[in-house]
Structure 1
């Protein structure tokens, strides 16, 4: 019985509990790094693959010999080793995009995982609940939504806003039946966060930071650079209280920015999954799109700062996260995600189907076909083209550049096809 849904709540530890959790977070980080180093060493020296079953025996001996490791809950240490197993399995899986497991730095987000059998949850009232953590006791958290299932695992984590508790929950939910609604194409961009082919206006993501917050963030980043330079020169690289306070301020703003971005993404993907029978999106290679333009000293890159700004804008719109959310929400709401090749969607006319870079000079907002004279917003034209490809291929991604249908339906005719219900099948 595996977890099929996640629940995250804001936790409110006491002062003593927060001190213990912070120490546990660094202990867990050290355990991960040591276990990873042990596996790498054995493979390089003996070509031997070490797994968590054997490392748990070493963990038992380490808990006896080292006091700081003995204070760490055994269930959390074992769960960290199992997570390392999963990281290796994902790396070895050719169909998984995960890279080789990496070591965790001191500035990495603190997290302490537990198996579901090690925790217990009790509800206090309509808004509050408590979770019992081994060696810590009862930890209060805000019950912002019902857990709604059997807890399979729990993780305590800290970000710029404080501590959170996350539960992996088995709900037993099955994929919903097809909702029978019409489909659409969606173009994810920068100027227009998302343009749906069946709509006349784009969906714009509000600024993730206000002007004052951007100025505050810039001031803190500059302040941090000065303080780090001073620490390296006069304190041997040791961080002081003021520097840690500056880093905490930066983390708070970054977390606020991420939360606002995530809020818009969830609202967008939920609306699409609820109100569409299927939706087509581009098979974007975000890693390649955001590759740095910086070169070497002999051959420096061109427009490095401009490319860096474009990379930030692309990542701020989180196309990969939107695709991930659409995949699992489609199963919940009875819709279907269809991924189509992104080749020339911005240069293909949605009316005549001809590809010509001259139809969109300078990558402006206007698309004007030089062959048939069709004019439209460039992002909306791309979304209509994505819909046509998704309707034809059914979401099967191919490497062929001939993904455009030979027989084209004009954009106006395609809209009428969407609005006209299909006749019932007569056998």
Structure 2
């Protein structure tokens, strides 16, 4: 499987070179397909990749260019060896011949590899449950530091869900409080980034023993790296230490994704209308270093905030909520983000000094004086914007404000 993954990456790179060198008038799928077939005949190590998997690489590469032409993504580029996830696509499901051995394990047929055992984590349409409308259409092999994994593509017919009759809720994504809900049912993973140990901000999903082990491994790696001469090949012991570090990092990443999936599923099941704010996350995590002529301020603090925002994966949370709310019959809406954290959710005014503390909101309006969690205050403002008809409608890649007829945007209520 390692050889197939390397061959698939090389096929992508060869296709990319051939596509960019070929004049635009002569670029076509048929020409690229003929080139792949000839290359598999002439080069032995490219023939390790099954023919169907090579065709899948071509389809994926062409799909990447279509996404570029339609403005949904950047141009496809070269796949480097050490920065690319090793993967192999199996586009035909009829050759997999999936069988279940017992409760925890199953067997699958991998082309040019043979029968392979895999961990059974979800029910698959095999045997009597399989049919034209409920069947396995393919699979994808992916390798990370924890080993090889297989993801099955399944075609199934599901009934259209009934409209969700649950309540409305506004959600504000934060750092101190991961998901603040407007009704006070906040979702916290219990791993605050403001812990006394230095590794808490980076590896807060590891338990104390794992953090101590990670610290020992990093010290060991730094010690062994000090003996390596410039341009000298990395020793086996140092590579082994790096692999152990990556395994702990991958464990933390999986725990974070597991919490995110379970939390978003619970929200989609509970609420019929979910409202979030439209965030431009790439701009939020830009470095504050500045230039030589105009150096930035508080660079270290901004760098720590950027890491915390990236680890919380706000964009993935919205993506999960988008398809999960639709699955359970609910809807997800986005509202403009400006001033949601600065405006008081009780009186509706923006008064200077209300956000002196990062975690607490205290309204400085003499007639109000409301105080509470800052993220909760923002979540209430997000829900209010939706109820005032300020939801955003995506149109041609832009966000358009939808306002209810006869209702003006209010700064006070």
Structure 1 residues 307, 106: CA separation in 2 closer, same or farther (over 3 Å shift)?
Answer: same
Match for residue 154 of structure 1? 139
- CA deviations 1:378-423 (Å, max 9, x no partner) are 11111111111122327325566999842855xxxxxxxxxxxxxx
Q: Which residue of 1 aligns with 2:109?
A: 132
Would you say the 8 A contact 2:287–2:302 is kept in 1? yes
Deviation, 1:286, is 1.1
Within 5 A, what are the aligned runs for 1:162-181?
A: 162-181=147-166
Q: RCO (CA 8 Å, sep 6+): is it higher in 1 or 2?
A: 1
User: Partners in 1 of 2:229 and 2:169 — Cα distance?
Assistant: 55
Q: CA deviation at 1:115?
A: 0.2
The correspondence of residues 285-364 of structure 1 with structure 2, limited to 5 A, is 285-364=280-359
Name the stretch that deviates more: 202-211 or 154-163. Answer: 202-211
Could you tell me whether the CA contact under 8 Å between 1:197 and 1:384 is conserved in 2?
A: yes
Partner of 1:30: 10
Give 1:276's aligned residue.
Answer: 271
**Contact 1:280 / 1:338 at 8 angstroms: preserved in 2?**
yes
* 1:50 paired to 2:34: no
Instruction: Name whichever of 161-170 and 201-210 sits farther off.
Output: 201-210
Please name the residue that 1:412 is paired with. none
Aligned-pair distance for 1:217? 3.6
Name 1:233's counterpart in structure 2.
230
SS of equivalent to 1:135: coil
Please give the secondary structure, in 2, of the residue aligned with 1:138: strand
Name the stretch that deviates more: 164-173 or 148-157. 148-157
Deviation digits for residues 33-90 of structure 1 (CA, Å, limit 9, x no counterpart) = 2212222233xxx344735442221111111111111122111111111111122222
Counterpart CA distance in 1 for 2:282 and 2:408 is 25
SS at match of 1:359: coil
Matched, 1:105 2:80: yes
**1:259-314 Cα distance to aligned partner (Å, 9 max, x none):** 01101101110011000011111111111111122334444332222222111111
Range that drifts further, 375-384 or 52-61 = 52-61
Q: Where does residue 70 of structure 1 map in the other structure?
A: 47
Question: Does the CA contact (< 8 Å) of 1:348 and 1:355 recur in 2?
Answer: yes
Report the number of matched residues.
382
> Are 1:353 and 1:404, in contact at CA under 8 Å, matched by a contact in 2?
no
Deviation at 1:122, TM superposition (A): 2.1
Choose the corresponding residue for 1:120, options 87, 93, 97.
97
Q: TM-score w.r.t. structure 2 length?
A: 0.84
1:213 — aligned with what? 210
- Matches of 2:26 and 2:268, distance apart in 1: 42
- SS of 1:307's partner is helix
Aligned residues of 1:175 and 1:331 also touching (Cα < 8 A): no
Q: Answer with 333-342 or 294-303: which moved more.
A: 294-303
More helix by share: 1
Alignment of 1:406 with 2:410, yes or no, is: yes
- Find the counterpart in structure 2 of residue 263 from structure 1: 258
Residues of 1 paired with 2:348 and 2:311: CA distance? 31
